[in-house]
Structures are given as C-alpha cells and as structure tokens.
Amino acid sequence: MKKTTTDFDILIVGGGLVGLTVALACAQAGFSLGVIDISEPSEQLADSHDGRASAIATASFRMMRALGVADALVEGEDTHAGPINQILVSDGQAGQAPSPLNLFFDSAQISEANDGEPLGYMVENRRMRHALHTQTKKQDGITWIAPAQVSDIEASDDKTTITFDDGKTLSAALLVAADGRNSFVRQHAKIGVTAWPCNQKAIVTTVEHELPHNGIAHELFLPAGPFAILPLTGNRASIVWTETPRAADAAMALDDDQFAAELARRFGDFLGWVKPVAPRWCYPLSFQHAKTYVGDRLVLVGDAAHAIHPIAGQGFNMGLRDAAALAEILVQARAEGRDLGGEFTLAQFESWRKFDNTALTHACDVFNKLFSNNIGPLKHARRIGLSVVDKLPPVRQFFMKEASGQVGDLPPLLRGEAYT
C-alpha cells in the first residue's frame, strides 16, 4: 500500500454518544483519531444538555466494559447503571389496569446465554456522556477539536481533507460521520434518506417513587403511543411518555402539579406515590434511514445513518454496534495492508451493518404503528399476540436475546473482548 501522510488515520465529525464510542474503539485498536464537534465539551456535559436515559443491552454493556467506560460509570460507592432484570409489556388505557394478556421477559430465562447478567442496564445519558469523556481523556490517540465548524470536505485518491470555517484544514484516510440525525456530513456527501414523521412526540422526565422497582421495566401501550417506566438506580425511573404532537405540547404546558397528576394517572399506584424530580423534555419522533452508509472515504454511523422510534430502546445500541463493527473492519484492513478508506473496506461495513439496521428500523416502525392506536380489532389482535408470544418459550427467548443484543454476527467488542 502506498503510504500517504495524513494528520490522523480517522477523523470523526460529531463527538456525541456514538462518535465518542467510535473514537474509543478505534483508538484502543491503535488508530489515531481527531474528534470534531460543533459545540463546547462543557456544554455537552451540562446536566441541562440531555434529560434522557438509555437502555443499554447486555452485549452493548460488555462493550462498554471492554472500552473502560463501565468503570467510569462508577463513582466511589455509586454506580450509575441500573440493571433491567425483567420487562413487562402490556396494552392498556390511561387510568385503567393493564390488560392481563401481556408479555413478560425475565433475564433468568436466558441466564445461560447471558452469563447470569440482566437483560441490560438503564443509564442516564448525562452519566454516559461523562463516562465517555472521562475515558477519552485517558485513552491515547484521541485529539478533541471543539468547538469547530466544518465548512467543506474533499475526498481524493489517498485521503479526505476537511476545511474549517477559519480556513484551517485536517486530513485523514477515513471520515466518520457521527453528527446526528441532521448530519451535515451526510448532506454534504448528497446521501439521501428514507424518512417519514411518526406524528408523535416523546415527553421524557425522571420520577422518584415510594416502593422499589426491582429492576422491572414496564412498557404500557396506550392509544397515543407507548408509556415506558424504566428502572434507574435507587427508587427512580426514567419516563418516556409518547403522545400525539398536540397532546404532548399541551402536557408540556401544564404547571408542575397538573403535570404530576397526569403522569400519575398513567403510571398507576403499583410503586406507591410517584413524583417528577427532573425537568421535562420533549423530542419529536420520526423515522429516518440513510440510503447508503458509505461515500468517498466516508462512513455514516449512529443517528446520522439511522434514527428510529425509541419504542424498543435500540437507537444508541445500533450506534454501538456500528462502532464495534467499524473498529473490527479497520483492524482487519490494517492487518491485510488495505486502505482504511478504500472501497472494499467500506463495502464490508455497509454489508455488515445495513441489513441488521434495516430490519430493526422497520420492525420498530411497524411495532409502533401496530400499538399506537385504539382500533378495536387491532387492539384485540395485539393483546392476543402478546399473550401468544408469552406462552411460547422459544419465541420469547428469541425476543429476549434480541433485546439483550446477542443475535447475529457479533464483533469482538460486543463479546466483551478488548483490543488491548
């Protein structure tokens, strides 16, 4: 291979949750990286930046351990990862008991495949961001370039060159776009997307409740969309309350007492009293999938490639799988003396990730459409469907393994194997 001099092996545009994970995975494998973000790192680390919590699947959490990020999630006696031991999915109406025809997943039923681990862990995004920043500072090979505004990108036969708005330039063999659903890099490369709105918004907040949740995640399907109660550490839960845009805007406009009362009506009293303890956040939901994940010396990862409904808590997990697959493909390319940004290398990324992501993005969309309505026959069918899956152990186990991220061709990091 002809040796070209570049500033870095890899440049990443977007230092969010997925971009930083790509940086850690590739730096641990010995590559040099520049991470460019439009915002100040201190802005991203402010508690006011992101009120969400993410369900991190078992395999994804193994990757976080392999990258040292899980260690950074522990502060003294405190761990910021709450185990998800069980998941209860049911159909219902606000203010009424859930349908008895439900679906129950228990980590004990796949304990062998899971090495006795839970189905996943709930981690607040602000904690995950802190842990990723802490670990990127410890890891050799990562240079932060932020805040910085990219104005142009030009790929040639042997490198890609980024120009910033102050006229400075940086080059690398490969550019990774991790700049989120409105990706500047994707648009600059003229990569189109398949997209449609979900006609829903998700209200997110954190609540405290009286009784312990015992690590049980609840997904209650209400007519306007899912209402999820997700177990955080302590007697706390992250709420993802999906509504039509009009109802979500109205709920956001309620005063604190009115909001708490509406939330409690949906929540029920199975965990005793419940009270919101964090600001409310509102996220418009839409489906978006890039037509291709690769361009000239370019790959798309995370929400820049695929942004999905949070119904199954899979968006970040998909981005982590992109990161693990990309690191492994680049390690193999280096071992075989291939160009990191060459077409053959990039085609392997596309074929490894596109099929998996296409299946999951569409499954989440169909699932949301099926459950977010009050049409009588559909309601009846889905209640029966839930209870049928519940009564068939092999099918239930398949769904549990899927939720814990353990199906398909797993790259080493997702098996918990570090590069060093």
Ligand X SMILES: Cc1cc2nc3c(=O)[nH]c(=O)nc-3n(C[C@H](O)[C@H](O)[C@H](O)COP(=O)(O)OP(=O)(O)OC[C@H]3O[C@@H](n4cnc5c(N)ncnc54)[C@H](O)[C@@H]3O)c2cc1C
Give the shortest CB-63-to-ligand X separation in angstroms. Answer: 12
d(CA 210, CA 73): 25
β 216-222/53-57 pair status:
unpaired
Listed in sequence order, the residues at least 6 apart from 41 whose beta carbon sits closer than 8 Å to its beta carbon are: 15, 133, 144, 146
Number of residues that bind ligand X (CB under 6 A): 33
Closest contact distance (angstroms) between CB of 133 and ligand X is 11
CB of 286 to ligand X, least distance (A): 10
Rounded (10°) CA dihedral 39, 41, 46, 48: 20
- Restricting to residues 37-66, which ones interact with ligand X according to CB under 6 A? 37-39, 44, 52, 54-55
Q: Would you give the binding string for ligand X spanning residues 115-154, x where CB under 6 A is met?
A: -----------------------------------x----
Sign of CA dihedral 398, 222, 305, 41: negative
* Contact between 287 and ligand X per CB under 6 A: no
CA distance from start to end of the chain: 25
Nearer to ligand X, 34 or 180 (CB): 180
Q: Binding ligand X by CB under 6 A: which of 92, 180, 226, 295? A: 180
Q: Which of residues 323-362 bind ligand X (CB under 6 A)?
A: none
Q: Which of 34, 98, 226, 315 binds ligand X (CB under 6 A)?
A: 315
Name residues contacting ligand X, limited to 159-178 (CB under 6 A). Answer: 178
Smallest separation (angstroms) from ligand X to the CB of 376:
29
Q: Which is nearer to ligand X, 303 or 339 (CB)?
A: 303
- Locate 345 and state its tokens: 């290398």
Find the part of the chain contacting ligand X (CB under 6 A) among 35-43, 102-110, 215-223, 338-346.
35-43
User: Which residues partner with 283 through β-bridges?
Assistant: 202
Question: Minimum CB separation from ligand X for residue 20, in Å?
Answer: 8
CB of 339 to ligand X, least distance (A): 25
Hey, what are 398's tokens? 């398949």
Q: Using CA atoms, how far apart are residues 242 and 228, in angstroms rounded to an integer?
A: 9
411 binds ligand X (CB under 6 A): no
If one counts every other C-beta atom within 10 angstroms of the C-beta of residue 378, the result is: 14
Judged by CB, which is closer to ligand X: 240, or 339? 240
C-alpha distances out from residue 23 to 30, 173, 300, 305, 324, Å: 11, 15, 14, 17, 11
Which of 239, 331 has the CB closer to ligand X?
239
How far is the C-alpha of 173 from the C-alpha of 120, rounded, in Å? Answer: 35
DSSP state of 158: S
Q: Which one of residues 34, 98, 231, 310 is an interface residue with ligand X (CB under 6 A)?
A: 310
Residue 210 CB, nearest approach to ligand X (Å): 24
317 lines the binding site for ligand X (CB under 6 A):
yes
Rounded alpha-carbon distances, angstroms, from residue 340 to 141, 331, 374: 16, 9, 50
- Across 188-260, the runs of DSSP E, i.e. the strands, are 193-209, 216-222, 225-231, 236-243
Q: Per-residue contact track with ligand X, 213 to 242, x per CB under 6 A?
A: ---------------------------x--
What is the full DSSP assignment across 263-293? Answer: HHHHH-STTS-EEE-S--EEEEEEEEEES-S
Contact range with ligand X by CB under 6 A, out of 179-187, 250-258, 349-357, 377-385: 179-187
Sequence-distant (≥ 6) Cβ neighbours of residue 47 within 8 angstroms:
126
The structure tokens listed for 122 are 């709930």
Q: Is 243 in the site for ligand X (CB under 6 A)?
A: no
Interacting residue ranges for ligand X, rule: CB under 6 A = 13-19, 36-39, 44, 52, 54-55, 150, 178-180, 184, 202, 204, 240, 283, 302-303, 310, 313-317, 319
